[in-house]
Amino acid sequence: MGTLKRRILAGLGANAFGQVLTIVTQLATLPLFLSHWDITRYGIWLMISSVPSYFSMADGGIVNAARNEMTIALGSRDVLHANRVFQSALIFILSMSLAIILVVVAVLFFTPIVKNFEQDYAITLLILVIGIFVSFVNGLSEATFCSVGKYGFGTVMGQTIRLAEWAGGIFGLMFFGSFISVALGMLLMRVAGVVLSILLSKKYAPEFIWGFRLAELVQFKKTMQPALYFLVFPLANALSIQGFTLLIGSMLGPATVTVFNTYRTLARVIVQATSILSFSVGPELSRLYGARQYPQYHSLFRCSQIVSVGLVVLTSAVVALIGPWILQFWTHGRVQYQSGLLWTMLLYATVVGFGHVPKVLLMSINRHSSIALASIAVYAMSLLCAYLVGGMLNLIGNIFVMTAGELCLVLLTFYFAEFEIRRPDLAGNC
């Protein structure tokens, strides 16, 4: 088996491992916490722990953009440039993290804004925020593995750290039972995991030098241009996922929202399946692009598209077949099976799944600015259309509006991807 295939298969296994890990921890978390806390206390924890998620985009997308540029640079064997990108991103992450943590400390402990905020709540929130910024360093460590062709290893390492962090929180819950002990257990395990990741990075990705000597402001500015567009994607997803949830709730009622989100979660298994493939292929597209191996780059993209289409069709068929049973088991019969609703939602997820590989192609070479801006525009228009005509439609009608927007976005994604793959300077080498 070729080296390229082995790396892709390793990436597929690592991403599948991450998906399984997410499912297992999500299923185990609720009963474990409720065995030690009552519903009210657990609800407070959920509220506190949700706040740090707003800081998860504070890196400005620099980790994703730097990873792609580092991979492309090593693909062309430009180790010096890869280190300039790496160290410029590292110094930004550390300085930005320190500045924001100091602001959070000032707000939590030295201003009247949260004067009614209990002390242990404030300390817990601070610990959780620090954990977010530690994760940025880990993301950059994972990027070094990805850049040298060890994407699978780096991904498994990151997922293992996430599992250790979760276990640290459960340890704090079981033996001490306070908010602070849970948050501190999570942070300590994350820090230990990141230290180990850095040490392994020095061993398995020796091309990268952990330091600041090669950091350059000019290089940072260049990397920040595509980095900022990476932030548009989570904003666009929030506009689509949360936007339609709120809109359907306002027009059709909260009970309909429960049905809508349940069916959408079930159908998006298709999207998750295609993401396992596309995110495994992404680093290899970056590497081939940087190495100017354009025939292989072109071939990998085409093959990935074909496999992705087959995966979408197969996963759709499986969900359609076992969907009624899953709904009954998962919701204990509280959300009834409706064949029309399931098939409509499967159509929506299928359309989204078809666009995943070309989207990752654009992201892997930092050429995603156009599709990022298009995502915001298309989702905004979809919400507007649903708002204008949604009152005259039932739930299935609103899903058709949502699907039409996704179809427009997929067509645009294919157009931009084809433009990149057929660029004159690349096409002549294919």
- 239 and 134 housed in the same domain: no
d(C-alpha 309, C-alpha 28), whole Å: 33
- Show Cβ contacts of residue 329 under 8 Å, excluding neighbours closer than 6 positions: none
d(C-alpha 145, C-alpha 105), whole Å: 33
- 244 and 390 housed in the same domain: yes
Q: Which amino acid is present at 424?
A: P
Name the token pair of 233. Answer: 């994607």
pLDDT in 10s for each residue of the chain, 430 residues:
458 888 888 899 999 898 889 888 877 888 898 889 888 888 888 888 888 877 887 777 899 999 999 999 999 999 999 999 999 999 999 999 999 999 999 988 887 766 666 778 889 999 999 999 999 999 999 999 999 999 999 999 999 999 999 999 999 999 998 999 999 999 999 999 999 999 999 999 999 999 999 999 899 888 888 888 888 888 888 888 878 888 888 888 888 888 888 888 888 888 888 988 898 999 999 999 999 898 899 999 999 999 999 999 999 999 999 988 988 887 777 788 888 999 999 999 999 999 999 999 999 999 999 999 999 999 999 989 988 886 667 888 889 999 999 999 999 999 999 998 887 665 555 4
- 78 and 192 housed in the same domain: yes
Say what the pLDDT of residue 413 is.
Answer: 95
Per-position b or e across 148-175, b if 16+ CB within 10 A of its CB: bbbbbbbbbbbbbbbbbbbebbbbbbee
Domain count, the chain: 2
Domain extent for 346: 231-427
- 164 and 262 housed in the same domain: no
Q: Whose CA is closest to 230, among 422, 58, 19, 53? A: 58
Say what the pLDDT of residue 185 is.
Answer: 97
Instruction: Please report where in the chains the tokens 């009552």 appear, as a residue.
Output: 38
Instruction: Please report where in the chains the tokens 């990873």 appear, as a residue.
Output: 67
Give whole-number Cα distances, 142 to 86, 121, 153, 216, 395, in Å. Answer: 12, 31, 9, 21, 42
HSE at residue 386, side-chain half, CA atoms within 13 A, is 29
Per-position b or e across 95-108, b if 16+ CB within 10 A of its CB: ebbeebbeebeeeb
- 374 and 398 housed in the same domain: yes
- Show Cβ contacts of residue 224 under 8 Å, excluding neighbours closer than 6 positions: 60, 62, 65
d(C-alpha 183, C-alpha 173), whole Å: 9
Name the token pair of 65. Answer: 């953009």
- 255 and 129 housed in the same domain: no
- 282 and 348 housed in the same domain: yes
Check residue 430 and report its DSSP letter: -
**Do residues 158 and 142 touch, judged by C-beta distance below 8 A?**
yes
Say what the pLDDT of residue 1 is.
Answer: 45
- 316 and 418 housed in the same domain: yes
**Do residues 142 and 197 touch, judged by C-beta distance below 8 A?**
yes
HSE at residue 360, side-chain half, CA atoms within 13 A, is 26
- 187 and 249 housed in the same domain: no
- 12 and 43 housed in the same domain: yes
Crossing angle of helices 339-354 and 254-267, rounded to 10°: 50
Instruction: Please report where in the chains the tokens 């929180």 appear, as a residue.
Output: 169
- 192 and 264 housed in the same domain: no
Name the token pair of 21. Answer: 């890990």
Q: Whose CA is closest to 4, among 275, 280, 226, 284? A: 284
Q: Looking at 203, 224, 245, which one is the last position of a domain?
A: 224
For residue 240, the surrounding DSSP H or E stretch is helix 232-252
d(C-alpha 50, C-alpha 3), whole Å: 41
Name the token pair of 338. Answer: 């409706």
- Show Cβ contacts of residue 407 under 8 Å, excluding neighbours closer than 6 positions: 351
Say what the pLDDT of residue 173 is.
Answer: 95
Q: Which amino acid is present at 273?
A: A
Handedness of CA 162, 168, 172, 174 (dihedral sign): positive
**Cβ neighbour number for residue 294 with a 10 Å cutoff:** 18
- 201 and 263 housed in the same domain: no
Q: Looking at 177, 209, 224, which one is the last position of a domain?
A: 224
Name the token pair of 219. Answer: 């290089």
Q: Looking at 193, 224, 255, which one is the last position of a domain?
A: 224
